[in-house]
């Protein structure tokens, strides 16, 4: 079973502004690959500034690309050891 969502957790020294910059850069890069409309409609992510965490839906090709772009920009901006990333297990719907 493949996870369709990745969760990023950031160290206390990582500024929320730096995380948001990496998100914006990933959005702009994804727009170059897929077009603005496609990214606006189908790039799914959520950044929780209070919890210092971000989740990205990678169920689509666009989502997987966005995830890779975000990780790359984040590593360059903040350093590869400034965050942890792991797939979230899929939840089964209650019957």
In the chain, the domains with their CATH numbers are: 5-88 (3.30.70)
pLDDT of the residue at 39: 97
pTM over 0.85: yes
Mean pLDDT to the nearest integer, 23-32: 98
Distance CA 13, CA 1 (A): 34
Helices 61-78 + 16-34 axis angle, to 10: 140
Q: What is the DSSP string of 38-90?
A: HHHHH--EEEETTTTEEEEE-SSHHHHHHHHHHHHHHHHHH-TTSEEEEEEPP
Q: For residue 83, which of 59, 45, 55, 41 has the smallest C-alpha distance?
A: 55
pLDDT of the residue at 91: 58
Mean pLDDT to the nearest integer, 63-83: 96
pLDDT of the residue at 89: 75
State the pLDDT confidence band at 66, using cuts at 50, 70 and 90.
Answer: very high
How is residue 17 annotated by DSSP? Answer: H
Provide the percentage of residues in the chain whose pLDDT is more than 90: 89
Looking up tokens 């929320």, which residue turns up? Answer: 16
80: pLDDT strictly greater than 90: yes
């Amino acid at each position: 079973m493949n996870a369709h969502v990745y969760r990023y957790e950031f160290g206390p020294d990582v500024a929320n502004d730096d995380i948001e910059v990496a998100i914006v850069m990933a959005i702009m890069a994804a727009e170059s690959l897929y077009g603005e409309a496609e990214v606006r409609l189908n790039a799914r992510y959520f950044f929780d500034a209070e919890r210092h965490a971000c989740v990205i839906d990678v169920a689509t090709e666009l989502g997987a690309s966005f995830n890779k772009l975000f990780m790359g920009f984040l590593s360059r901006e903040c350093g590869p050891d400034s965050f942890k990333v792991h797939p979230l297990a899929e939840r089964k719907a209650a019957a």
